[in-house]
């Protein structure tokens, strides 16, 4: 839908050729235990500063708040009562019956005995709705197929890597901040504060100061064939790293499995290539509406209308050239 | 488990994906509950009733694993006619002496003549019908633990109980197993050891011991806390669970016979050999048969000398010097104020740590300095802070929670003055030996005769592998002289072998550090026998003979682990068999001999004197052969089962600063109407010494908090994320308020029980990145008589909105509530500061004294500090 | 570094290459093109075990110039399969936190501040105090004349995060010295 991402995937359209499989995350929040190892492993590898002023934030067990310049993995904690759980089950059920992209033909027979898409033979009586649940979800940069931050960056500081990820080059970034407003998820931020040492040595050096900052999908690990720090450490593998097509297939299968078990609240986020960002490199399995987790329900890349704009600009320019040419020709006459 | 052992929880998630049902029983809804099939909130301290209810359920409905129970447990064994059950004695077992608050366990013995009993052959009734058979005693003992009793005691509704009991029953048997995982939620109670015993009984009844996917998993909280009991720095045992000698045990042979007699069944029959090898490892050539292998060098115990007894002794100026090896008792031990006051009575103290923990700085920035109770100028304690090397800066082994010893290689040298504890202890020993070398004082002989000659590297660091080799043991004489022992079976009683810890024999077999083996898991089967080394004998599941039926065949194909190979004439399987390798399943055993030879082919529990798993424990527990429910010392609930309110053997200390609420046993109990329970959270580690000094962990959970239900918050008037002050009979602390439905008020009889959650990671000081009030300051030194471990999990408090007062007013607030509760005399009743204080609850004087148990000890202290342990009801 | 030529200018790369929109190969900086993991130049990787809880997760310790630069999970471990919890993942900071103490500190009786002390001196002072306190609180026998052969003047606590070999030496020496009040987190 966008001019800027070709049909062969983001890496191919940015000069990397066709030999690179797009990499990404599948974050299955149904098995997240909220341990925050991802947050720590990320900060430790990337030497990111701590966030906040070391006070309880007032958001259950979450004290880092949101993704930003310093926190590239963030675990949300949501406490919910029975009524809300019922609503989530209902909305998830509707998504499936509407043919949500999350429930497609089964791509592989790796898991589950029942063919995906055919839920008729399974007992779909939902288990008793619990009175309470505690949702945990690790959020991260989406590495959009059509990445607003990348498209608007005026300096070429942000680039699409051979892995399909979107990476900021701090040595190029001039800190203009254009990208910040272009991210529909509010992920990228300029790092203008932060320390790893809270009170003793405020002066210790922090990398990336003054530049735009976000998850790189551990680009500096991937060039060496390693996986990102967060997925490597995730105890339950709620965060999985791998080839994007495999992960989305696995994610779809997992939703099918969960629906078969009556967990109709399960649904995917970011797996739809027709959404406002062309799908994301980081796919999520959620157990409620995206808003509940602080995710926009319908993210739109700001450069979505760029092709149309270019077309109009092109017509206008062509017209002007034609007028100029005509007048030129007329002048000659 | 997801909270405190997140990486291990990956296996639970895997099991769950394969269809396992995960049930989480906890007062709080935690990150574990969030990932369980069901969370069952429980009133803290009532687990024996819940599990006893399940025991009753499986016995009454005949759901237990009959063949297993018949063959491998003592269900058929007859108990002495003298035995009296709490059901008949209103909460006491037979043999109780109210004078000493202890039991004489002679009436709990098996029936039979002395000779047969010594050989592990008690009277039995294989029909299990005899009224004195263990199974029938068990049935009667738990007969009143009905679903209704569970509801009235634990606050668990019958539907939840049914779900739990049915789940366990359905997931046990030939084809399936049920596993229990527990941590300090069972240990840290008075009666905690008996809670674990209850699950032991249930697991034996269900046939879940010694089998894959079964067992009782103790989720231990520190890298080598298992190793710290195997090779203990504990007062009551020597390496390999050999007891420390007690006063009067002056005869070596008698000492070892008290551990295990030569004629008894099983592997404790060789207790003398294990002891000789230990003494020989310590005193080398100075340990001879003539001097009883140096046995007389060992100091003798006179009762308990646990860390809390030591604290009391400090307060009496009875201890001069105190070493802390990576431990932070100013924050982590019960009754923090007494811990710190105890330190202020020391002459000197050595703190070895990575960071300036609160136990190193209490004299300059501790709570008592803030309150003005102490000033540095008054404190005589000389402090040495010695920086310690961390796990990357030294080589050595940790023993993890499943008895697996894993070796770490050294990556870098420690910085600056930092040294390993190995080097510190070795160096200190060398210096002391040097200073004493000319001593003729017989008291110094034990030090001077010690083997203390480990090879050191160029930095003076002793070679840790040489210490591991000594722990493993070696041959001293003959062809194999100098060779490491392959197994404890090679140990001799004639001084020709040494071994520092018999259960670790084999960890250095063939001169190879077996704990350092690192065949990748992906290249092995699920037993992963070639990664690390598990004691004993690299065996991963203990008592695994029970994974096969009495004839030696796996109970099922799905659950096979170890079986009898008739052709090969030996036991085989996917684990190292925990049984004499060639003993046939139909071997009757030879009772004329002792030890392994006496075991029959079905005596799967090879360490027990009768070869059986003990549903009924005739010895070993000081407070009863079977678990029975008592209320915790400060409980505001009357024991629904017996007049006997709390554990009759419990241990506490008389001190004006170690008071307890009388709970349901006195009107003052209503001054402390709420239960608080303490716990660990994922983001922190114990007393914070390894987490509150790390920025990345500090930011994740920066402040001390309390977790309360919306109902309690409304009752007390708490604001979300505002402050609350929690007041117990010991102290008052403040915490941020998390109001959450994860805390559930429980209906217990006609009473609503509110439980408050308090993580215990914070401490007051100025050196850590984050600090806060310590939950352990609220807790009294009330100990389990079996383990001398404090009750941290169920204590009483009140809760008021707002921050606690600063300075001396903090202590005054605590005092005011104590006066109100009648714990100390009311000096000025008219100006009682606590009068009408919010949250204090009504002073309920309606509880008549008649409901108090016999010989209920007064909660009022004698006024003088005393080392005497007060054991009461 | 290779000389930058006119052909390396991003706009030229953009026009010449397969990245006409200038969002991929055309805009990568020289630094980006030479990206390596910061562990790539480590002097070595040492196998270790996490020092926090008793699960016993495998760790790999990367070190350079005598300092730990990275600690991550060891995928070979059959216990942990390469994964670490937040504490294990923070282990590098455990070693390198700016609050790490590397010098002996000493506080005299009644003093209000710490002072410095040589390690050698400190060890000698501790040995002297050990001997003196041991003697002062020595008990040869109880009130019935039964042998005790112990001292009540010295106590220790810890550590469940120290090594088996360390606990062994502590137990061995303290017991030989008659110091029975030796305790551990395992009691708590």
Closest alpha carbon to B557 in B567, B565, B566, B547: B547
B108: nearest Cα among B118, B97, B96: B96
Q: Which of residues 752-781 of B touch C (CB under 8 A)?
A: 767-769
What does the pLDDT average to over A191-209?
A: 71
The percent helix, strand, coil of chain B (3-state, each to 5) is 30, 15, 55
| Residue C64 contacts B where some CB pair is shorter than 8 Å | no
CB-closest option in C18, C32, C90 to A169: C32
Asked if the C-beta of B682 comes within 8 angstroms of chain A's C-beta atoms, the answer is yes
Q: Which residues pair with B218 in a beta bridge?
A: B182
What's the pLDDT score for residue B537?
A: 97
Within 5-24 of C, beta carbons closer than 8 Å to A belong to: 10, 17-19, 21-24
Cα C150 versus chain centre, distance: 35
- Of chain A, the end-to-end C-alpha distance in Å amounts to 46
Q: Please, are residues B326 and B353 in contact by the beta-carbon 8 Å criterion?
A: yes
d(CA B812, CA B534): 53
For residue B845, what pLDDT is reported?
37
Cβ C168–B310 below 8 Å, yes or no? no
Chain A residues in contact with C10 (beta carbon < 8 A): 156
pLDDT tens digits, one per residue of A216-244: 999 999 999 999 999 999 999 999 999 99
Alpha-carbon distance C38 to nearest alpha carbon in chain B (angstroms): 17
Q: What local confidence, expressed as pLDDT, does residue A313 receive?
A: 67
* Interface predicted TM-score of the whole assembly (ipTM), two decimals: 0.95
Tokens describing residue B627: 């678990």
Q: Identify the pLDDT of residue A213.
A: 96
Angle between helices C119-136 and B421-435 (to 10 degrees): 60
* Shortest Cα–Cα distance, B150 to chain A (Å): 21
Q: Which of residues 97-156 of C touch B (CB under 8 A)?
A: 97, 99-114, 117, 119, 122-133, 135-138, 140, 142, 146-156
pLDDT band at C3 (very low <50, low <70, confident <90, very high): low
pLDDT, residue C4, reads: 58
Interchain CB distance below 8 Å, B690 and C171? no
Low-confidence stretches of chain B (pLDDT < 70) are 827-873
Cα A58 to Cα B692: distance, rounded to the nearest angstrom = 20
Contacts with A172 from chain C: Cβ below 8 Å: 27, 29
Q: Inspect the interface and report whether the beta carbons of C36 and A223 lie closer than 8 Å.
A: yes
B702 to chain A, any CB pair closer than 8 A? The answer is yes
Tokens of B268: 């404790």
Residue whose C-alpha is closest to residue B360's, from B378, B387, B334, B398: B387
Q: Is the pLDDT of residue A98 over 70?
A: no
Chain B residues touching residue C91 (CB < 8 angstroms): 391-392
With a cut of 60, say whether residue A103 has pLDDT above it.
no
Cβ neighbours of A291 (radius 10 Å)? 9
Of the candidates A68, A75, A36, A76, which has an alpha carbon nearest to the alpha carbon of residue A233?
Answer: A36
Put simply, the answer to whether B690 touches C52 (Cβ < 8 Å) is yes
Query: Is residue A201's pLDDT more than 60?
Result: no
Candidate from A44, A200, A201 with C-beta closest to C90: A44
Nearest to B29 among A34, A132, A235 (CB): A132
Listed in sequence order, the residues at least 6 apart from B849 whose beta carbon sits closer than 8 Å to its beta carbon are none
Inter-chain CB proximity A61 and B721 less than 8 Å: no
DSSP assignment, residue B46?
-
**Looking at the complex, does the CB of residue B719 fall below 8 Å from at least one CB of chain A?**
no
Per-residue pLDDT tens over the stretch A136-170: 999 999 999 999 999 999 999 999 999 999 999 99
Q: Is the pLDDT of residue A56 over 90?
A: yes
How far is it, in rounded angstroms, from Cα A230 to Cα A225? 15
Tell which of C51, C91, C176, C177 to mutate to test the B interface (max B CBs under 10 Å).
C176
CA distance B335 to chain A (A): 26
**Residue A5 has what pLDDT?**
58
Inspect the interface and report whether the beta carbons of C28 and A45 lie closer than 8 Å. Answer: no
Q: Give me the residue from B29, B696, B738 closest to A134, CB to CB.
A: B29
Confidence band, pLDDT 50/70/90 cuts, at residue A4: low
For chain A, say whether B579 makes contact (Cβ under 8 Å).
no
A65 Cα to chain B: minimum distance (Å): 10
pLDDT on residue C111 = 98
Q: Which of B191, B281, B333, B778 is nearest to B500 (CA)?
A: B281
Identify all chain A residues contacting B761, using CB atoms and an 8 Å cutoff.
Answer: none
Question: Which of B692, B696, B722 to mutate against chain A (most A CBs within 10 Å)?
Answer: B696
Q: Is B467 on the interface with C (CB under 8 A)?
A: yes
Q: Does the CB of B712 have a partner CB in chain C at under 8 Å? A: no
Token couple for B819: 């006066």
The pLDDT tens digits of the residues spanning A76-97 come to: 999 999 999 999 999 999 987 6
Nearest to A36 among C18, C25, C86 (CB): C86
Q: Tell me which chain B residue has its CA closest to the CA of residue C93.
A: B694
Give the global pTM: 0.92
- Measured CA angle at B230 (ends B227, B233), to 5 deg: 80
Asked if B326 and B689 touch (Cβ cutoff 8 Å), the reply is yes
The mean pLDDT value of chain A amounts to 85
Give the DSSP letter string of B88-140. HHTT--TTEETTTTEE-GGGGSBSS-HHHHHTT---B-TTS-STTBHHHHHHH
Q: Is B514 left (phi over 0), alpha (psi -120 to 50) or beta?
A: alpha
Q: Which residues pair with B396 in a beta bridge?
A: B408
DSSP assignment of B441-484 equals: -GGGHHHHTS-----B-TTS-B-HHHHHHHHH-EE-SSTTTTPB
pLDDT value for B828: 52
Q: How far is CA A242 from the centre of its chain?
A: 14
Cα of C145 vs its chain's centroid, Å: 48
Cβ pair B695:A39 closer than 8 A: no
Facing residue for B696 by CB, picked from A50, A199, A236? A50
- Whether C184 and B234 have beta carbons less than 8 Å apart is answered as yes
Task: Provide the angle, in degrees to the nearest 10, between the axes of the packed helices B134-141 and B47-60.
Answer: 120
Task: Read off the pLDDT band of C23 (50, 70, 90).
Answer: confident
């Amino acid at each position: 839908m966008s001019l800027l991402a070709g049909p062969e995937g983001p890496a191919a359209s940015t000069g990397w050729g066709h030999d690179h499989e797009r990499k990404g995350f599948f974050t299955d929040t149904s098995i997240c235990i909220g341990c925050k190892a991802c947050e720590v492993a990320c900060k430790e590898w990337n030497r990111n500063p701590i966030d906040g002023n070391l006070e309880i934030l007032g958001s259950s067990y979450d004290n880092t708040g949101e993704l930003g310049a310093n926190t590239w993995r963030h675990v949300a904690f949501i406490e919910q009562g029975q009524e809300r759980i019922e609503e989530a089950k209902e909305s998830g059920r509707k998504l499936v019956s509407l043919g949500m992209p999350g429930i497609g033909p089964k791509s592989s027979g790796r898991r589950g005995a029942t063919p995906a898409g055919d839920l008729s033979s399974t007992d779909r009586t939902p288990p008793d709705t619990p009175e309470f649940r505690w949702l945990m979800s690790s959020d991260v940069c989406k590495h959009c197929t059509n990445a607003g931050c990348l498209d608007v960056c005026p300096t070429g500081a942000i680039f699409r890597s051979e892995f399909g990820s979107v990476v900021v080059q701090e040595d190029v970034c001039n800190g203009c901040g254009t990208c910040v407003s272009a991210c529909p998820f509010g992920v990228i931020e300029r790092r203008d504060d932060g320390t790893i040492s809270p009170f003793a040595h405020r002066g210790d050096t922090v990398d990336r100061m003054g530049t735009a900052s976000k998850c790189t999908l551990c680009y500096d690990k991937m060039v060496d064939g390693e996986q990102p720090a967060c997925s490597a450490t995730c105890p339950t593998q709620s965060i999985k790293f791998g080839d994007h097509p495999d992960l989305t297939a696995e994610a779809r299968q997992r939703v099918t499995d969960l629906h078969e078990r009556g967990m109709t609240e399960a649904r995917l986020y970011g797996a739809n290539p027709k959404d406002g960002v062309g799908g994301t490199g980081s796919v999520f399995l959620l157990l409620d509406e995206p808003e509940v987790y602080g995710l926009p329900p319908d993210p739109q890349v700001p450069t979505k209308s760029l092709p149309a704009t270019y077309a109009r600009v092109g017509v206008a320019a062509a017209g002007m050239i034609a007028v100029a040419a005509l007048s030129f020709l007329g002048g000659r006459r | 488990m997801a909270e405190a052992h997140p990486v291990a929880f990956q296996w639970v998630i895997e099991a769950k994906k394969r269809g396992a049902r995960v049930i989480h029983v906890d007062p709080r809804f935690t990150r574990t509950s969030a990932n369980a099939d069901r969370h069952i909130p429980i009133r803290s301290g009532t687990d024996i009733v819940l599990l006893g209810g399940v025991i009753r359920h499986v016995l009454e409905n005949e759901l237990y694993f009959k063949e297993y129970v018949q063959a491998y447990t003592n269900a058929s064994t007859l108990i002495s006619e003298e035995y009296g059950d709490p059901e008949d004695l209103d909460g006491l077992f037979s043999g109780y002496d109210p004078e000493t608050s202890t039991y004489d366990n002679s009436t709990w013995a098996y029936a039979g003549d002395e000779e047969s009993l010594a050989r592990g052959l008690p009277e039995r009734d294989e029909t299990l019908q005899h009224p004195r058979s263990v199974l029938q005693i068990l049935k009667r003992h738990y007969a009143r633990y009905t679903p209704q009793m569970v509801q009235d005691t634990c606050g668990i509704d019958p539907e939840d109980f049914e779900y739990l009991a049915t789940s366990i029953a359905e997931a046990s048997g030939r084809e399936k197993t049920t596993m229990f995982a527990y941590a300090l939620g069972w240990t840290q109670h008075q009666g905690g050891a008996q809670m674990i015993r209850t699950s032991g009984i249930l697991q034996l009844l269900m046939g879940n011991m010694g089998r894959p996917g079964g067992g009782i998993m103790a989720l231990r909280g520190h890298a080598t806390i298992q190793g710290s009991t195997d090779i203990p720095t504990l007062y009551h045992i020597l390496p390999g669970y050999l007891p420390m000698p007690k006063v009067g045990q002056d005869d070596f042979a008698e000492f070892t016979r008290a551990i295990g007699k030569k004629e008894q069944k099983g592997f404790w029959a060789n207790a003398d050999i294990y002891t000789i090898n230990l003494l020989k490892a310590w005193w080398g050539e100075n340990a001879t048969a003539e001097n009883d292998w140096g046995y007389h060098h060992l100091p003798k115990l006179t009762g308990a000398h646990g860390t809390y007894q030591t604290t009391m002794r400090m307060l009496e100026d009875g201890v001069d010097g105190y070493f802390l090896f990576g431990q932070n008792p100013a924050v982590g031990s019960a009754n923090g104020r007494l811990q710190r006051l105890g330190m202020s009575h020391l002459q000197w103290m050595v703190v070895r740590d990575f960071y300036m923990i609160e136990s190193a700085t209490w004299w300059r920035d501790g709570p008592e300095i803030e309150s003005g109770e102490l000033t540095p100028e008054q404190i005589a304690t000389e402090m040495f802070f010695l920086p310690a090397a961390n796990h990357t800066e030294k080589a050595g082994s940790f023993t993890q929670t499943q008895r697996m010893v894993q070796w770490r290689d050294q990556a870098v040298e420690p910085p600056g003055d930092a040294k390993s504890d190995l080097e510190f202890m070795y160096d200190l020993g060398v210096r002391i030996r040097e200073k004493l070398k000319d001593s003729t004082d017989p008291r110094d002989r034990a030090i001077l005769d010690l083997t203390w000659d480990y090879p050191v590297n160029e930095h003076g660091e002793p070679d840790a592998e040489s210490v591991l080799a000594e722990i493993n043991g070696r041959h001293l004489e003959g062809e194999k002289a100098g060779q490491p022992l392959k197994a404890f079976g090679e140990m001799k009683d004639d001084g020709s072998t040494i071994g520092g810890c018999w259960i670790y024999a084999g960890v250095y077999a063939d001169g190879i550090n077996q704990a350092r083996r690192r065949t990748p898991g992906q290249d092995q089967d699920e037993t992963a026998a070639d990664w690390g080394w598990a004691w004993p004998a690299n065996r991963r599941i203990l008592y695994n003979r029970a994974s096969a039926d009495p004839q030696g065949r796996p109970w099922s194909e799905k659950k096979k682990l170890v079986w009898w190979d008739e052709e090969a004439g030996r036991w085989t399987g996917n684990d190292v068999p925990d049984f004499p390798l060639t003993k046939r399943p139909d071997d009757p055993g030879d009772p004329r001999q002792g030890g392994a030879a006496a075991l029959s082919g079905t005596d799967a529990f090879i360490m027990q004197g009768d070869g059986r798993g003990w549903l009924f424990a005739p010895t070993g527990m000081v407070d009863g052969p079977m678990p029975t429910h008592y209320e915790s010392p400060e409980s505001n609930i009357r024991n629904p089962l017996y007049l006997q309110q709390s554990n009759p053997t419990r241990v506490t200390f008389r001190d004006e600063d170690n008071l307890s609420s009388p709970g349901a046993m006195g009107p003052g109990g209503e001054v402390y109407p709420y239960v608080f329970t303490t716990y660990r959270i994922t983001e922190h580690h114990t007393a914070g010494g390894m987490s509150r000094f790390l920025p990345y962990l500090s930011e994740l959970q920066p402040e001390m908090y309390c977790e309360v239900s919306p109902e309690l918050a409304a009752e007390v008037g708490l604001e979300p994320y505002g402050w609350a002050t929690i007041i117990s009979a010991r102290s008052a602390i403040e915490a941020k308020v998390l109001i959450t439905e994860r805390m559930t008020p429980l209906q217990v009889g006609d009473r609503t029980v509110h439980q408050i959650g308090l993580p215990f990671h914070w401490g007051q000081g100025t050196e850590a990145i984050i600090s806060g009030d310590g939950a352990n300051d609220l807790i009294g030194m009330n100990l389990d008589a079996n383990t001398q471990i404090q009750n941290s999990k169920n204590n009483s408090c009140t809760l008021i909105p707002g921050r606690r007062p600063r300075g001396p007013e903090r202590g005054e607030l605590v005092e005011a509530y104590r006066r109100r509760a009648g714990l100390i005399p009311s000096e000025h009743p008219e100006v009682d500061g606590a009068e009408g204080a919010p949250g204090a609850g009504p002073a309920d004087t309606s509880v008549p004294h008649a409901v108090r148990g016999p010989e209920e000890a007064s909660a009022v202290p004698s006024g003088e500090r005393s080392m005497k342990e007060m054991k009461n009801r | 570094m290779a000389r930058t030529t006119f052909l390396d200018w991003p706009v030229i790369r953009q026009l010449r290459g397969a990245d006409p929109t200038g969002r991929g190969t055309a805009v990568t900086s020289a630094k980006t093109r030479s990206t390596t993991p910061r562990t790539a130049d480590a002097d070595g990787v040492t196998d270790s075990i996490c020092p926090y809880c008793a699960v016993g997760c495998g760790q790999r310790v990367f070190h350079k110039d005598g300092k730990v630069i990275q600690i991550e999970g060891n995928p070979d471990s059959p216990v942990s399969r390469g994964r670490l919890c937040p504490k294990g993942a923070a282990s590098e900071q455990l070693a390198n936190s700016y609050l790490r103490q590397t010098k002996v500190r000493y506080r005299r009786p009644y003093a209000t501040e710490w002072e410095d002390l040589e390690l050698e001196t400190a060890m000698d002072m501790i040995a002297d105090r050990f001997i003196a306190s041991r003697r002062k609180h020595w008990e040869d026998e109880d009130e019935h004349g039964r042998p005790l052969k112990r001292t009540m003047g010295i106590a220790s606590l810890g550590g469940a995060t120290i090594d088996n070999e360390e606990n062994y030496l502590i137990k061995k020496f303290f017991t030989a010295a008659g110091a029975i009040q030796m305790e551990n987190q395992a009691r708590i």
